Amino acid sequence: MQRTLILLKPDCVQRHLIGALIQRFEQKGLRLVALKFTQANRDLAKKHYAVHKKKPFYESLLSFLTSGPTVAIVWEGREAVAVVREMIGKTDGAKSPPGTIRGDYGISVQNNLIHGSDSAENAAAEIALWFQPSDLVSWQPADMDWIG
């Protein structure tokens, strides 16, 4: 079992797509571990996107992520990091195939609706940025034996 972090970014919240996107992960069989509706401050946004510090789009990205509310979610499941990245699609919505979240709902590069951790190591670090350990709920869904 693996955990991963997703962020439903401010454009997703403003476009009323929270429910539609959560439904995809629920229906895939991922298990909800933690969920938070929050507005990231600059400090959190800088830590979350530290890897992009040198990129020309960094300042714009920080403004975007802090511009409104975000939904942060931890999902758990078999190969959850890779499964979620596949479901999200490519960074650029215009190049992301239909069937992926960014392919179905977006056409922008920056305003691409959703973040997903890209490795188990980064997932652990990102989960610790957005959640307290006590926010993470371990539970046994009744249908777990069917979903796997």
What is the spatial distance between Cα 111 and Cα 113, in angstroms, rounded to a whole number? Answer: 6
User: Residue from 104, 110, 120, 125 that binds ligand IDP (CB under 6 A)?
Assistant: 110
CB 128, min distance to ligand IDP, A: 18
- Cα 147 off chain centre by: 22
User: Residue from 115, 126, 127, 131 that binds ligand IDP (CB under 6 A)?
Assistant: 115
Question: Which stretch of DSSP H or E encloses residue 31?
Answer: strand 31-38
Parallel, antiparallel, or unpaired for β 70-77 and 114-116?
Answer: unpaired
Q: Which is nearer to ligand IDP, 70 or 112 (CB)?
A: 112
Amino acid in position 137: V
User: Residue from 4, 70, 100, 112 that binds ligand IDP (CB under 6 A)?
Assistant: 112
Q: Which is nearer to ligand IDP, 22 or 114 (CB)?
A: 114
Residue 61 in the binding site for ligand IDP (CB under 6 A):
yes
Report how many residues bind ligand IDP under the rule CB under 6 A. Answer: 9
Rg (the chain; Cα; Å) = 15
52 is catalytic: no
Residue 57 in the binding site for ligand IDP (CB under 6 A):
yes
Find the part of the chain contacting ligand IDP (CB under 6 A) among 27-35, 37-45, 106-114, 136-144: 106-114
CB 127 within 8 A of CB 3: yes
- Which among 16, 48, 52, 115 is annotated as catalytic? 115
Q: What 3-state class would DSSP assign to 74?
A: strand
Residues 10-45: b if buried by 16+ CB within 10 A, e if exposed:
bbbbeeebeeebbeebeeebbbebbbeeeebeeebb
Q: Name the site residues for ligand IDP (rule: CB under 6 A).
A: 52, 57, 61, 91, 109-110, 112, 115, 118
The set of catalytic residues is 115
